[in-house]
Amino acid sequence: MPFRFVHTADIHLDSPLRSLALRNRELAELIGDATRRALVAIVDLCLEEQVDALVIAGDLYDGDQTSMKTARFLASQMERLHQAGIHVFKVRGNHDAMSRITQELILPPSVKVFGGRAEAVEMRCGTLDIVLHGLSFAKPHAPESLLPKFRQPTPDAVNIGIMHTSLAGAPGHDTYAPCNIADLHGWGFDYWALGHIHTRAQHPGARTVIMPGIPQGRDINEAGSKSASLVTVRDDRSIVVEERATSLAQFERIPVDLSGVESWHAAVEAIERAMGVERDRVVSEHLVGRLMLHGGTPLSWRLRRDRDLLLAEVEQRAEGLGRTWIDKIELGITSPSEAGPRASADPVLELGELMRDEVLDQHGIRQAVRELVETVRGDLPPEARGFGGDSEAAFEAFLDRLLDEGCEDVLARLKPGVSGAD
């Protein structure tokens, strides 16, 4: 008789979908409880597959949670599992350590929350002896590896370790309980149920080491399909891992090539086609897309100048597609080179050349923008700081794009006429 469990982490219960809540109230109301819906999907998966256990590898909560509505919702979901005879094994992550609910919430007896000292819980499933090892964050910060604190594997049993860790480090994530992948494989546990890094990964080696990723993305930096792991330990102790979708809303970047497009209508049609293709591709109920317009088009000036009008029209087209929402429009478009002798050059184009060749390269301008960006970045939580790249070179490239796009936006508003407009 196999032992089956669902492995998830980083649910961040009641964490808002940050990029949309202020701009689109309807969308915020529709999927503002997306993390709750993700947890419901995970519980539904446990019930449908009739698993033996649910393993939560940290950050069930999203920080200093005080809402009793959150507590009641969580208790109701755990009760569903309890009534079905499904055990829950949970460790606290860095966000859980900050949550008051962690200390106050009363959960069914089938829910095991590991404490600040390493513990091992034994189960019997058919012919298999199962031992689940766990260790929680006692405080929001864990600068040293937790691995040496775990117990050694129990001989002749299937050993499953549950740990919240940043591993060797990941962009956008602070260091928590750092750990080497090779050391995990060498510890002797059959399966490592990890959490903390929001991108799904299976780390190859002698053992099965899974980081399931976040089950519901919260902004464009957590794009793509999100999931949990359905794990089967067979009677011969071989392990099979299946990825199962959990997210209500899926963030995606949608590239749209507008090269040579000369009319506003044609541009909107091209955008709608790209949204439709992406809508058909995504597996989540809702698509939240960021439009990435690129290519050389005589509409460049107008699209930049009237970005608000473009967004309104595109949102209407998205509504027609159904369950499709627009997060933002990013303009990487360019204007075709102007023909004609230098003497008759457009003065706005001359201003653009002056800005790019002399003004933007001045150290003071770039430094002022750099300081502004660094201030904004520093005020954001760690998981939201990745917009400027994960290296100094990437950050410099980000500043280049920011300055260039700012220049183009200024020029678009100065342009007296727009070629190619309908």
Shared domain for 208 and 219, answered yes or no, is: yes
Q: Judge whether residue 51 has pLDDT over 60.
A: yes
Answer with the one of 285, 314, 336 that is the final residue of a domain. Answer: 336
Domain extent, residue 177, equals 3-245
**CATH value at residue 155:** 3.60.21.10
Tell me what the pLDDT averaged over the chain comes to: 86
Residue 15 sits in the same domain as residue 92: yes
pLDDT of 157 strictly over 90: yes
What is the pLDDT, as a whole number, of residue 68? 78
Residues 112 and 173 in one domain: yes
The mean pLDDT of 372-390, rounded to a whole number, is 73
Percentage of the chain beyond pLDDT 70 is 82
pLDDT of 36 higher than 80:
yes
Residues 248-264: tens digit of each pLDDT: 999 999 999 999 999 99
Please give the residue that has the higher pLDDT: either 44 or 334: 44
> What gap in Å lies between CA 208 and CA 175, rounded to an integer?
23
pLDDT band at 421 (very low <50, low <70, confident <90, very high): very low
Residue % of the chain over a pLDDT of 90:
58
Q: What are phi and psi of 204, to 5 degrees?
A: -65, 150
Looking at 336, 361, 388, the residue that finishes a domain is 336
Strands 191-195 and 119-125, by their bridges, are: unpaired
Residue 355 is predicted with a pLDDT of 64
Mean pLDDT for the stretch of residues 12-26: 67
Please give the backbone phi and psi of residue 368, each rounded to the nearest 5 degrees, phi first: -65, -40
Query: What digits encode the pLDDT tens for the residues 61-112?
Result: 886 655 778 888 999 999 999 999 999 999 998 765 555 655 567 889 999 9
Same domain as 137, residue 212: yes
Return the beta strands (E) in 166-224 as ranges: 191-195, 201-203, 208-211
Report pLDDT for 138.
73
CA-wise closest residue to 305 among 419, 413, 415: 413
Domain check: are 284 and 187 in the same one?
no
- For the chain, give percent helix, strand, coil, nearest 5: 40, 25, 40
Instruction: Tell me which DSSP letter residue 355 carries.
Output: I
One DSSP character per residue, 293-311 reads EEEE-TTHHHHHHTHHHHH
- Is-contact 323 277, C-beta < 8 A? no
- Where among 307, 336, 365 does a domain terminate? 336
Q: 191 near 203, Cβ under 8 Å?
A: no
On whether both 224 and 135 belong to a single domain, the answer is yes
Compute the distance between CA of residue 17 and CA of residue 27 in angstroms, rounded to an integer.
10
Identify the three-state secondary structure at position 398.
Answer: helix
Average pLDDT of the segment spanning 315-319 = 96
Cα–Cα dist 297/248, whole Å: 36
Decide if 196 contacts 163 (C-beta within 8 A). Answer: no
Residues 223 and 152 reside in one and the same domain: yes
Total count of domains within the chain: 3
pTM, rounded to two decimals: 0.81
Give the distance between the most distant pair of CA atoms in the chain.
88
User: What would the mean pLDDT of 138-151 be, rounded to a whole number?
Assistant: 84
Residue 405 has a pLDDT of 76
Same domain, yes or no: 208 and 257: no
| pLDDT at position 18 over 70 | no
Instruction: Copy the structure tokens of residue 341.
Output: 């002798």
